[in-house]
Structures are given as structure tokens and as C-alpha cells.
Structure 1
Amino acid sequence: MELEPAEKARKLDIQELEEIRNDAYENARIYKDKTKLFHDKKIAQKHFSIGQKVLLSNSVLKLFPGKLRSRWQGPFIVTKVFTHDEFEIESEESRKRFMVNGQWLKSFNENFQAHAVEKIHLEPP
């Protein structure tokens, strides 16, 4: 007779523990969904067309930074556009083709003109 109340209390404890565990799983899923939405908002979608010239980020410079080195290589020509922001690019000099993620690319402006810098020679006083 004394075992029945203990059994009922134990079953209630197990059910309560399962509810707490299910709540924890649900909260974790909600947190992951919100984090993914926030992350996806920050990713900039890049749209390049076939034949467009692009610059490729030099990821080696992130490991060994150089003050005056350019972080961009190129120009490269986009030869194929795939789904999920993937592109096949071709080097203008070596004609090698390879696949890259669109996050490593930026558009190349061909009409950029560097201005001549005027040099001023100072005489000692």
C-alpha cells in the first residue's frame, strides 16, 4: 500500500522532467532559427553576370597582413554562374578556371583612372 503513492510521485517526476527536456529542445530550436535569420540578413547577395570582370579576395593576406598590400587580385572574368552564390572565374593572364564562393568576389571597375600626383620639391631653409 505504501508503494502506490511513491509510484505515482515517481511517474509525475518523470513526466515533469520530460516536459522540461522538451521545453529545452524547443527553446534551443527557436534560438538556432533566430540566429540563422540574423546571420542570413548580414550576408550580402552578390549578383554577377557571365563575362563580367571581378576581383578575388586574397585570403593569405588575412593571415599575414601587410599594410600597403592590396587584398584583391585580378581582374578575373566570370564564365559560369551556379546556384548558392557560386561562380566559375577565369584568369585573364593564365586562362585557368576555378570555382569560388561569391563572398570572395567584388566587381571590377574598368573605367577607373588614376590621377597623376603632382610632386613638390621643397628646398631646405
Structure 2
Amino acid sequence: MDWSKKLDDALWAYRAAYRNVSIPALNKLNLDWDVAANLRVAHLNGLDEFWHHVYTSSSLYKEKMKYLHDNYIWHREFKEGDLVLLFNSCLRMFLEKLKPKWNGPFEVVGVTPFGELDLENKNNEVFRVTGHRVKHYLGKVGDGHVVAAIHFK
């Protein structure tokens, strides 16, 4: 069967055929303009109230998350004479597991009001770094003291 010969006839029959109008669309259509306008305004007011509720709840959520985030930030204050460790931010191609990321300890020589620190290394060389790259050096763990000796049989 050759469909190419019958295609024109089929398309003409489809265009010329009577099709029913969609009934659900007619049921939803409101021909009374006053009632339709009032419904539309009520719907827009409902959307406006919903938007206001969403805006306030999102702003409360943002405040709560900011409070929780700020609680986890340690505010570090450095004074002259403190010992600090400096973060080594060099990109290493071959990671060595036992190489620490923190260098030091360094002594704080000066503190600027904007959070920069002047550090001095063991060779008495002074250099300036930002306060975000350092943390307090707590020192090495010393030898433990014997509190009580317990002997088992």
C-alpha cells in the first residue's frame, strides 16, 4: 500500500472533520465579569499572603543558619610573644601522608589592626602573614607525671 498517495486525502479529512469543543474548558469559563474579577483579586491576595509567609520564614531560617555558623567560628586573638603555627598552602603534586600542613612554631612580633601578623622564625627573619593562616601553638606534650604506681601480682 502506498501511503504517500493517501496522505493528502487523510489530511484534508482531518481538517474538514467537525470536532467537539472541550467541555471542561467551558465549565471553568466564568462569563460574569464581576465575579471573575473578585475571584482573581482574592487569588492574587492569597498569593501575596503566601509570598509574605515564605519571605518571613526564609529570613528566619537565614538568621538561624547564620547564628549556628557563627558559633562554629573561633575568634582568634593574637598578642606579641605568642607562638603560632603557619598553614602551608603549597600545592603538592605527590601527597606525602606524614608531612604536616602546619609549619612552625613562629613567634608573633607585631599585630596590625586589620588582622595581619608579623612573625619571626628561628633565623630571626620577620615576615608578614594574614591572621587566617595561623593558629595558636599549644606546645609539645611533656612527659607525664606518675601519680600512683600500681603493681599487679
Flag as ranges the 4+ runs of structure 1 deviating above 3 A: 59-65, 112-115
The share of aligned pairs that are identical, in percent, is 27
Q: Extract unaligned runs of 5+ from structure 1.
A: 116-125
Measure, in 1, the Cα distance between the counterparts of 2:60 and 2:127: 45
Q: Does 1:41 find its partner at 2:71?
A: yes
Is the contact made by 1:54 and 1:108 (CA closer than 8 Å) also made in structure 2? Answer: yes
Counterpart in the other structure of 2:118: 89
Counterpart in the other structure of 2:89: 59
- 1:82-121 CA deviation, whole Å, 9 max, x = no partner? 36xx3323242432213232xx3222356x4888xxxxxx
Is the contact made by 1:54 and 1:77 (CA closer than 8 Å) also made in structure 2? Answer: yes
Counterpart in the other structure of 1:32: 62
Is the contact made by 1:75 and 1:91 (CA closer than 8 Å) also made in structure 2? Answer: no
Counterpart in the other structure of 1:100: 131
The 5 A counterparts of 1:74-85 are 74-78=104-108, 79-82=110-113
Deviation at 1:62, TM superposition (A): 8.9
- 1:11-67 CA deviation, whole Å, 9 max, x = no partner? 111111011111111111111111111111111222321232211122347996431
Is the contact made by 1:89 and 1:100 (CA closer than 8 Å) also made in structure 2? Answer: no
Count of matched residue pairs: 110
Measure, in 2, the Cα distance between the counterparts of 1:64 and 1:30: 45
Deviation at 1:5, TM superposition (A): 1.1
TM-score of the two chains, using structure 1 as the length reference: 0.70
Is the contact made by 2:85 and 2:105 (CA closer than 8 Å) also made in structure 1? Answer: yes
Q: Rate the CA distance shift 1:44–1:63 in 2: closer, same or farther, 3 A.
A: farther
Is the contact made by 2:117 and 2:130 (CA closer than 8 Å) also made in structure 1? Answer: yes
Measure, in 2, the Cα distance between the counterparts of 1:100 and 1:64: 28
Aligned Cα root-mean-square deviation (Å): 2.9
Measure, in 2, the Cα distance between the counterparts of 1:41 and 1:63: 35
TM-score of the two chains, using structure 2 as the length reference: 0.59
Q: Extract unaligned runs of 5+ from structure 2.
A: 1-30, 144-153
Higher Rg of the two aligned structures: 2
